[in-house]
């Protein structure tokens, strides 16, 4: 009795597993949902999707959503996009939104945008509802030397035709910053910029900064302008300091040359004094030679010494510096 119960339970379990396996490979419920929604697809195609490792629910639900929205999509194209790694749900939602907004987005363009790594549904939403990009503060200097710090807000919408291969937000922000710097730099006075900030917006907007990007710039608004440093005055002060340092260096060079010349002249003077002393040292030798040769007598020598003594006395009375110096140095010689 117990063995019969076990056999019945085993048969029931096997039957349930077989039914689950059949309904897994033959999704009758999904096929019926597609049928009542107006989507024509055969059970065989659903089974083949299983074998191709494509979830039939994703394909069928995408076809149902597109059909209810009035779009005609091809099953093979949906399967190919899924196998290529695309996001079918995002693509179908984007196609439905674009059709309601009369944007003229086709399936091929939508799948290309999706495979390029961009969110095509978000791009369609941005085309309908523009996005505001807050650019970072940009510092620029007007012609009068005053620095201005401007903050810009850029209103953009997605350009569906250039989403593939078009530049992103960073390029738009960089171009807007460059345009703001150019507009402020061309102003004669910072006061004119503060009085009419819309002139910056007009100049920047007319440059066509959105060319080659995935966006279309609708407006550029200057949200805030702050006055920064007086760059012109700072540059003039730096130049003045540089000129002062150069002048000081040249003056120091001239002073050094003067000191060197003075020392050189002192050395020449010492050399001249040494020559004089050397010449004076030859006098006693000449006198001695004159004595030996009989050209000079003793009386002549005493007269010569008396004349020297009188000369020193007169110099001492007259206060001659050189004589006083010699008289002071003479005892030391002794």
**224 domain residue, yes or no:** yes
* 217 and 165 inside one domain: yes
Burial class for 172, CB neighbours closer than 10 Å (0-12, 13-18, 19+): buried
Which of 194, 210, 233 is at the close of a domain? 233
The pLDDT value recorded for residue 22 is 53
Of 233, 255, 273, the one marking the end of a domain is: 233
For position 332, what pLDDT does the model report?
Answer: 43
> Would 259 be classed as within a structural domain?
no
On the 0-12 / 13-18 / 19+ scale of CB atoms within 10 A, 243 is exposed
Q: How many domains does the chain have?
A: 3
Mean pLDDT for each 10-residue chunk of the chain (334 residues)?
Answer: 62 57 60 75 76 81 85 86 87 87 84 85 83 87 86 85 79 86 85 81 80 82 82 80 90 90 88 84 80 75 78 78 49 41
56 and 121 belong to one structural domain: yes
pTM given for the model: 0.54
SS3 content of the chain, % helix, strand, coil (to 5): 70, 10, 20
CA torsion 273→279→281→287, rounded to 10°? -150
Are 142 and 188 in contact by the 8 Å Cβ rule? The answer is yes
In this prediction, residue 331 carries a pLDDT of 47
* Residue 261 maps to a domain: no
My answer on whether 110 and 152 are in the same domain is no
Size (the chain), residues: 334
Give me the domain span that covers residue 181.
Answer: 135-233
Residue 183 maps to which CATH number?
3.30.479.30
Last residue of a domain, one of 233, 249, 280: 233
In the chain, at which residue ranges do the beta strands (DSSP E only) sit? Answer: 131-134, 138-141, 146-158, 215-230
């Amino acid at each position: 009795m117990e063995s019969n119960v076990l056999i019945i339970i085993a048969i029931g379990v096997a039957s349930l597993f077989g039914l689950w396996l059949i309904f897994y490979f033959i999704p009758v419920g999904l096929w019926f949902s597609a049928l009542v929604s107006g989507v024509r697809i055969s059970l065989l195609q659903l089974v083949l999707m299983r074998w191709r490792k494509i979830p039939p629910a994703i394909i069928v639900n995408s076809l149902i959503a597109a059909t209810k929205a009035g779009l005609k999509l091809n099953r093979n194209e949906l399967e190919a996009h899924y196998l290529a790694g695309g996001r079918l749900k995002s693509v179908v939602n984007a196609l439905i939104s674009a059709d309601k907004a009369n944007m003229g987005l086709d399936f091929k363009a939508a799948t290309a945008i999706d495979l390029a790594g961009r969110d095509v549904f978000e791009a369609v939403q941005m085309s309908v509802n523009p996005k505001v990009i807050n650019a970072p503060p940009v510092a620029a200097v007007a012609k009068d030397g005053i620095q201005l710090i401007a903050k810009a807000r850029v209103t953009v919408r997605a350009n569906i035709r250039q989403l593939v291969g078009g530049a992103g937000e960073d390029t738009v922000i960089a171009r807007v910053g460059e345009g703001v710097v150019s507009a402020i730099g061309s102003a004669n006075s910072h006061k004119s910029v503060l009085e009419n900030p819309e002139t910056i917006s007009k100049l920047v907007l007319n440059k066509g900064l959105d060319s080659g990007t995935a966006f279309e710039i609708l407006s550029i608004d200057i949200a805030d302008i702050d006055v920064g440093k007086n760059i012109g005055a700072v540059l003039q002060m730096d130049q003045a300091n540089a000129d002062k340092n150069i002048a000081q260096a040249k003056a120091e060079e001239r002073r050094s040359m003067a000191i060197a010349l003075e020392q050189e002249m002192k050395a020449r003077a010492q050399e001249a004094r040494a020559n004089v002393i050397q010449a004076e040292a030859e006098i006693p030798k000449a006198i001695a030679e004159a004595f030996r040769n009989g050209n000079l007598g003793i009386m002549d020598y005493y007269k010569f010494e008396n004349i020297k003594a009188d000369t020193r006395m007169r110099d001492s009375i007259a206060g001659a510096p050189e004589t006083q110096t010699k008289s002071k140095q003479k005892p030391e010689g002794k």
